[in-house]
Amino acid sequence: MPFSNFISFLELEKKYSVHTVKAYKSDLESFFEYASEVYKYTDIKNVHYSIVRSWIVFLVETGISNRSINRKISSLKTYYKFLLKTEQIKVNPLSKHKALKTSKKLQVPFSEKEITNVLELLQEEKDFKNVRNKLIVELLYSTGIRRAELVNLKLSDVSLSKKTIKVLGKRNKERIIPLISVVTETIHEYLYYRKDLEMIKDNDFLFLSSKGVKIYETLVYRVINKYFGKASEKVKKSPHILRHSFATHLLNEGADLKAVKELLGHSSLASTQVYTHNSIAKLKQVYKNSHPRNLK
């Protein structure tokens, strides 16, 4: 593989997830295949930007979205930065590249009523699976953690006395998130049912399947999709929408943007600002109802 050292760098030094490394590898292989077939390159280290631009045109013509193309080019950029840093090249061919314009997708959060309805559905039956699923919904909504972060939570990460959880986020960044009382009560309830499982193989992890093994990300998606499918007409029903709802509802109630950023584990404020668009409607209503020139 012509970029095996780069893949090792992503895995060992950057400590990217298996999924992320796989995406980088796929993007590089795709470009290498194009450059070798169309331009007979046997080594993509010293390609000219015109080759990259030609690949972009090819991708556009195949109908791939600008967002996906930008992700692929971002993988290339990271690769050439690595080559520059390790002195394998002298010039980065993508140094002046500008990303393609993309339309911002506005993701509609669940309403508070929809979330309440789901939690009421999960309250109907008391057994291991239902209590676990209820805790999944409550934790995602009350903390804003990512699906992967929830799956990887360990029992040792939960402090019921301090009412906090310790989360290992992207790039191995740790953050402490407070828990509200209703969630700690559900954790107590879940642990009561958890201890009675016939066999526990992955005891270190908080969330287990009924077979006693660590749950997986697809299971979390199915839980959210299943129950919100009964309570919401929204097209997209995923764990990320609960994270979106967490941030939007906090901002609607006047939470500080920087505080929400820390809770979400974002590295920059710009990442958190995408959640503010849903707060504008409420701000407009407050403005309309409060401004003296609009009062009758």
Pick the catalytic residue from 132, 146, 147, 244: 146
Residue 89: is it exposed, middle or buried by C-beta count within 10 angstroms (0-12/13-18/19+)? Answer: middle
Question: Residue 3 has what DSSP assignment?
Answer: T
Catalytic residue among 25, 71, 163, 240: 240
Best CA proximity match to 56, nearest among 8, 110, 19, 93: 93
Residue 48 bears catalytic tag = no
Distance CA(30)–CA(128), nearest Å, equals: 45
Question: Cα–Cα distance between 220 and 226 in angstroms, integer?
Answer: 10
Q: Which of 134, 243, 244, 261 is catalytic?
A: 243
Catalytic residue of the set 170, 175, 234, 282 = 170
* 79 annotated active-site: no
- Alpha helix positions (H), 205-268: 217-231, 239-252, 257-264
DSSP annotation string for 72-121: HHHHHHHHHHHHHHTTS-SS-TTTT--PPP-PPP-PPPPPHHHHHHHHHH
Cα 56 from Cα 73, distance rounded (Å) = 8
Q: Is 170 a catalytic residue?
A: yes
What b/e readout covers 221-251, taking b as 16+ CB neighbours within 10 angstroms?
Answer: eebbeebbeebbebeebbbebbbbbbbbbbb
Q: Give the whole-angstrom CA distance, residue 239 versus residue 241.
A: 5
User: Is 266 annotated as catalytic?
Assistant: yes
Q: CA nearest 251: which of 231, 281, 287?
A: 281
| E-only strand ranges, 171-241 | 174-178
Task: Cite the active site residues.
Answer: 146, 170, 240, 243, 266, 275
